[in-house]
Structure 1
Amino acid sequence: MGLEELALRLNDREYKNWLKAARCLLLLREGLHPFTSHHMRAFHADLLNQNSLLRKPCQTSCRPRGTKLCRPCSEWHTVILKHHRQPDATVNWDNCSPPHWRTDHWELAKAYMPRGQGKKTGADQCDASALLNLINYCDCFGSMDLKCVREVIRYRNELMHSCEFCVKDEWLRCYQTTLKKLVRQFSHVPQMAAAGRQIEEMLGIDLSICVSGWDQMDFADTDRLESDSLSQSEISADLISKWEAELLQERLQELLDTTTAAAAPDDDDDAKTQDAEQLKRLSGFLQANRDLADRFSAELQAIKSLEARE
């Protein structure tokens, strides 16, 4: 099952740090899903109530990069920029389908997100970065500590862009402090409170101890963690392998989405180059680990196809 290879990877303390930090982003994402979806649904409804032109359907099947938008879609375009905290920043219009702005609150949300969100149809399909960028850029999210939000985004980018999938202990401590500060802003949201507890538990787990008995079905009671709701005996190597695969799958999909989305002629060449380099590094990491190469064989083949077309 590849548990030997997993155990070897987890002998590297800085890889374990990367794995735990990245797992926290998935937990954060789960907590943010209902909060962001609820806010955007209410925001969308308010816009429709305040402006009758926004309630009119698209008249010409407008495209996000079309030379001319119909009057209702043009009004949506104006309103989106009006509620953008930094309207002079790059807005990723390719994320959106203008004819659906009137009927779908998440098509509106995607205008405030990073590239590569075009196929996402709801909050539950978006990663933590997309949701945090939405909060950062859309002014419907009220009195948030945006500096803290941007700090978590910065940590997330450093984590996901790590060439070696490794982070140091000091980085992890600073990251944990910033995550705590962010989660406290959502103390009124039950899902975020739960995510905060799970994040604390995740950061307290010693994954190397979990895998030290990879050849056993269960762990001895003496191996239990000091935790209220997570214990050593409850965390199998198979579960850790599943966490790792989920993290790598999300990163792979993000890079494949953005690489494909970067085909527009006026996209930033530097962004294209960076995405291609990140995809190459991730591909190399997967191929260097036999178990991961087997698990992600289809994705690796897709990467080869992309490289062959360049």
Structure 2
Amino acid sequence: MVSEELAFRLNDEEYKNWLKAGRCLLLLKDGLLPFTEQRLRAFHGDLLNQRPPLRTPCETSSCKPRGNALASVCRGCSEWQREILKHHRQPSGTIHWTNCFPPNWRTDHWEVAKAYMPRGQAKVNRADEFDASALLNLINYCDCFSSVDPKLVRQVIQCRNELMHSCELRVKDDWMRRYRWTLRHFVQQLSFVPHMLTVGRQIEGMLTVDLSIRVFGVDRLDSAVAMAASDPDLLEPDAESVSRWESELLGEMLRECLCAPNEEDEDAKTQDAEQLKRLQGFLQANKDLGEKFSSELQAIDSLQAKGGEEG
């Protein structure tokens, strides 16, 4: 049964825009995962074949970052670090070594990929746990994805960051039109990737569907029925699916904000604190979400109490 709170939220057009845009990121991630898996596996294999020193196991099995620095690592892990920097499009920028467990670089291509991703990936152990931001940043920064125009990738990343850092979890129609254009061109560039054309149709359908129809128990619009009949990928979602997507998006925002930035990164700490405060207020104002994310609310309370003590 759909909660009244969800029905009320979906009566807000700009909140529905936010939710639909977020769902498109989940669809995009599903399309990018097989592509990045194939490229990474080949990239990792080529490095091992071309650079014999990379085949050397970690000498201590305990090499790890300290803070966001990677120092005092063994010779084998140092070789991997140099190779990762060699294939990084911006090696002088911030690289989140804290994502990585260097002893696994030799055997796990996704562990290497983490060095090209945003912070907060250290506990991700399965490829399907990476979000769209992680995969997009990987494509943007690792030169093994040379067939993809970095400019288009960065445009999608910018839209994603604007969406996920939205103060009120609401976006306007003008923003949605720009977002649709950006996703369409990015997906078209990857038309050579199996399943991406299907993903493109799913995204187009999500951006045009009226999520409130099923929630309020009203019959679907004729256009929605016709659309679903012509392409099953565009079938109108039911209320339970909408609720699940909402939870996935909010969960992603909470994980990103709860992942502590570097102590020296004061701007990131301030932005995360402000975003957490807004999310806290939103969850508390919606009883169903407050119950669903009760543990995260407790974590926010603990962080705020700790911050108060340090202040």
What amino acid maps onto 1:77 in structure 2?
Q
Q: Secondary structure at the match of 2:214?
A: helix
2:283 matches 1:286: yes
Fraction of identical pairs, as percent: 62
Structure 1 contact 223–233 (Cα < 8 Å) conserved = no
* Aligned counterpart, 2:271: 274
Give the Cα–Cα distance (whole angstroms) in 2 for the partners of residues 298 and 182 of structure 1.
37
* Aligned counterpart, 1:254: 256
2:149 matches 1:145: yes
Structure 2 residues without counterparts, runs of 5 or longer: none
- Aligned partner of 1:305 among 292, 302, 305: 302
CA 123–185 in structure 1, closer or farther in 2 if over 3 Å, else same: farther
What amino acid maps onto 1:284 in structure 2?
G
Q: Secondary structure at the match of 1:190?
A: coil
CA 50–232 in structure 1, closer or farther in 2 if over 3 Å, else same: closer
CA deviation digits over 1:221-265, x for unaligned, max 9? 868444123599853222222221222122222222x22xx2x44
Deviation at 1:191, TM superposition (A): 2.5
User: So what's the TM-score if we normalise by structure 2?
Assistant: 0.91
Total equivalences in the alignment: 301
What amino acid maps onto 1:55 in structure 2?
R
What amino acid maps onto 1:309 in structure 2?
K
CA deviation digits over 1:45-75, x for unaligned, max 9? 1111111111001113211235312111111
What amino acid maps onto 1:277 in structure 2?
E
Give the Cα–Cα distance (whole angstroms) in 2 for the partners of residues 88 and 155 of structure 1.
24
Instruction: Please say which of residues 233-242 and 12-21 is displaced more in the overlay.
Output: 233-242
What amino acid maps onto 2:171 in structure 1?
V
Structure 2 contact 201–233 (Cα < 8 Å) conserved = no
Give the Cα–Cα distance (whole angstroms) in 2 for the partners of residues 220 and 121 of structure 1.
41
Deviation at 1:206, TM superposition (A): 1.1
Give the Cα–Cα distance (whole angstroms) in 1 for the partners of residues 43 and 100 of structure 2.
17
CA deviation digits over 1:259-281, x for unaligned, max 9? 2xx2x44x411112211221221
1:81-230 equivalences in 2 (<5 Å): 81-213=85-217, 219=219, 224-227=224-227, 228-229=230-231
* Aligned counterpart, 2:7: 7
CA RMSD of aligned residues (A): 2.0
Give the Cα–Cα distance (whole angstroms) in 2 for the partners of residues 20 and 222 of structure 1.
20
Give the Cα–Cα distance (whole angstroms) in 1 for the partners of residues 188 and 234 of structure 2.
27
Deviation at 1:18, TM superposition (A): 0.5
Structure 1 contact 210–232 (Cα < 8 Å) conserved = no
Give the Cα–Cα distance (whole angstroms) in 1 for the partners of residues 118 and 83 of structure 2.
19
Moved over 6 A (4+): none
* Aligned counterpart, 2:24: 24
Deviation at 1:39, TM superposition (A): 0.9
CA deviation digits over 1:173-196, x for unaligned, max 9? 110011011111211222222211
